[in-house]
Amino acid sequence: MIRWRRGTVQGVRREWPGAIELDVDIPGDGQRRALAYPALVGRPEPGDTVLLNTTALAMGLGTGGYAMVVAVPDRLPPDPAGPGHLVKARYTPLQATVLGADEQGSPHHDTLRDADSLGGAPVIVADLHSALPPILAGLLAARPGTRAVYVMPDGGALPSWFSMSIARLTEAGALAATVTTGQAFGGDLEAVTVHTGLLAARLVLGADAVIVAQGPGNLGTGTRWGFSGVSAGEAVNAASVLGGRPVGSLRVSEGDARERHIGVSHHSLTAYGRVALAPADIPVPELGGPFGARVAADAAPLGDRHTLVPVPVDGLHDILRTAEKDWGVRLSTMGRRLDEDLPYFLTAAAAGRHTAALLS
């Protein structure tokens, strides 16, 4: 259950759109990192007393190991102004009302009311949030100027503000916009479902290509079905039923300590092999050597339903290094950097490269 603490703000460590990272002194625990979302709780200042949820901090979560600011009790934020009746994080203490792109009060309601087609636009689906930067790197290197929109479902973090990758990719111009769907919130547009999120990305935001992957902090239990990435298969179905062109990015690893994720992860094999009922393109990276042969063999059963597309990875390592430097985004998956699990990043970039070919 929730661990509650009070703390005193010592200072601001850094901030990015939608989020502020703080140093907070917690009696008995010392100085710790805390994260505040000003749109929800107001802007904490040094010296403020803050109410904290320290559950993730106590669990030592790598992705979300922050104390989360729940309130600044002595200085509440003003009541929100403006339209919107979509409630997200519903029936939790921090439920928030947002304006949905698809709701009646939205200027986009008429566009989306009877919308039913993506017009063949490619939709790249991935398991982990960390796939977003390398997918963009592969896509934009092969087809500069592509307008890519990220659709974020609610399998990981709910606030898109938690993701520094989104902030930096957007600032660098690599990512055009973000749509948050389901219980997720904080995007440039809000939508009720992944389906309306995809339609909003295409018809409202003018996406040439759409990327769907959960936010930071996926959940897995080491069981066949108990992982939040099953939503990747559901996203393939959504893209297909709306007349898009699904592209399934494989989750591949050579550096994960868990055997179930070595080669092609069981997450990809289950999501694309069991959950996705509609066919998709599955880019298979030509990694070479024994490991590349293993990845190809692992992916082969997916060919019963999907189209397996061999994709060369030559030049992608340099492209990824350049993207990391130029965009100021940290390429990391499960704590492993680019050169610590290169096949993971090459595979995601290969999905972007293949999608660029579809747009040519």
Tokens of 111: 């566009």
What is the model's pLDDT at position 58?
A: 80
CA dist., res. 76 & res. 87, Å (int) = 20
Classified as helix, coil or strand, 270 is: helix
Helix (H) or strand (E) holding 282: strand 281-286
CA dist., res. 37 & res. 279, Å (int) = 39
Q: Which strand ranges, in their side-by-side order, compose the sheet holding 148-152? A: 189-191, 177-181, 148-152, 209-212, 122-125, 245-248, 281-286, 307-312
Nearest in space to 288 (alpha carbons), one of 257, 263, 313, 252 = 313
CA distances in angstroms from 262 to 189, 266, 340, 348, listed in the order given? 36, 9, 13, 15
Contact between 142 and 356 under an 8 Å Cβ cutoff? The reply is yes
What is the model's pLDDT at position 244?
A: 98
CA dist., res. 287 & res. 56, Å (int) = 37
Q: What is the CA radius of gyration of the chain?
A: 20
CA dist., res. 324 & res. 230, Å (int) = 28
CA dist., res. 127 & res. 249, Å (int) = 8
The CA-to-CA distance between both ends of the chain, in Å, stands at 51
Provide block-wise average pLDDT over 10 residues at a time, the chain (360 residues). Answer: 92 96 94 94 96 86 79 90 87 92 95 98 97 98 98 96 97 98 98 98 98 92 88 97 98 86 93 97 97 97 98 98 97 92 97 96
Contact between 230 and 220 under an 8 Å Cβ cutoff? The reply is no
Tokens of 355: 């999608």
